[in-house]
Structure 1
Amino acid sequence: MSGDTHGGAELAGFDALMPGPTGRPLRDFPEPPALANHGPARVIALCNQKGGVGKTTTTISLGAALAEYGRKVLVIDFDPQGALSAGLGVPSHDVPTVYDLLLGRETDTRKAVQATATPNLHIIPANIDLSAAEVHLVNEVAREQILARVLRPILDDYDVVLIDCQPSLGLLTVNALTAAHGVLIPLECEYFALRGVALLVETIDKVRDRLNPAVQLDGILATMYDARTLHSREVLERVVEVFGEKVLETVIGRTVKFPDASVAGAPITTFAPDHPAAGAYRQLARELIARGQVA
């Protein structure tokens, strides 16, 4: 299990005309209409080189919320810890994984895709074998583009692909950034978490310049927010001051529900569908759709 055990913001109590935690009016984004057609997918990498900030929780919960709104979603476990696979209750051993696809041991990407218990939500799992990928790929031609090549045959099957990156800026994360159209940065509302964002943004800029001109920063998602503490409020204020509109309006607060959902191997939207944490991720899904970052 990863340390990504943060919770959903208590959004239900906010008046839509009152300022939200980011200091901007907290809009109630409309429920999106159904899609007439599906695909090709927009690929979004969830990155932060700091661990325990909510990448895995956000990948699971956002993926499930988008699936609820009729989007066909593929999530990719790109962390050797395999927390995404465990959090969705799918097997990651004795089955084709993303590691097998990267190394060419499995050449049909669809054979590594598994359905989850959530309709419209599929996953390509990972396990500890993935930790050896960087060593094996280091001498490969165009090694930064292997994941993009693996995903290409299945992009028309989905509306969005979410990549749960490991907490590092190594070759796997560069592969995810090279394959992605957008990057979502979950950022813990804590001072030391804030310090690393500039390095991550610099890495995204380098990938855009050298490998993938299409990649852009979709947004920064404030996580583990606790409105009761001055520290959380000051960190969020500083993030908005620096990144402005790149900071998403949806803010994810602390709750104890996420560890329980992880143990159950289910998204919060299924495990506790009426909890404000589930509502926060549905709000995030609607916001990304409203911003045009998801179909």
Structure 2
Amino acid sequence: MVLASYAHGRGWPIPVGGSQKITDAMADDLVDHGGQAERGVVIADIAELDGFGVKIFATSATSLASITAGMMPDGYSRRLRTLSDGRGVCKVDFVLAAPIPWTNESVALSPTVHIGGSRREIANSEAEISWGRHSPTPYVLLTQPSLFDASRAPARLQTVSASIHVPNGSTRDCTADVIHQIERLAPGFRELIVGSKATPASQLAAQQRPTATRTPWRTPLPASIWHPRRRSPPPACTACLDGSRPRPPCETSFTSPHRT
């Protein structure tokens, strides 16, 4: 939320050295104040967290239902299982011989660029994804960090990362779709590509498996914690339902506040 607030006032920041630096700094501050962080411990049953005063689950709805099976009210568990997966994301990374040749040169002053066309185009694109179809003109979220942080690219080269929405679980390589959208605003982009790598939604889902891990906050915390979106019934735990949505026709999604 801090980054989002800053973005509205001064533009989306680019951390020098990569976004991991932010997580590292927060973890270091936690340790400096007497906390302890654990990584790589997968939790399959909420009983494994006995003794922890606050439990925060940044997982999918179905994962939460499985982890808390037998402890949550039956009605609540059934509601969790009715939530379907939200849209997927395909990510494409590029190495370029030079900065993107934007037709509007001021775009090069922004670390983050949203490419969507008209309001109607954006709405139509997102509607296609909701119906399980790939959009021919996807909404592109693009970052060009090496313009502002030289450590993000090899010498004399530039790096660009772009993401688009796709149907959940899609195996499609969306490189051509992304290039087409960028070329609309930066003719000649294609000729600057030294290399590219696409990560389809199916691979991203496998890399970011929605399981719960031990909370890294082991310092004393209040007995309850406020969350603006969703609070599960007793046993008290905060549910940040990541990438889930009620089944049609409702399109509301529950997104973890810990993901950028």
More helix by share: 1
Report the structure number with the largest CA radius of gyration: 2
Please give the TM-score of this superposition, normalised by the length of structure 1: 0.23
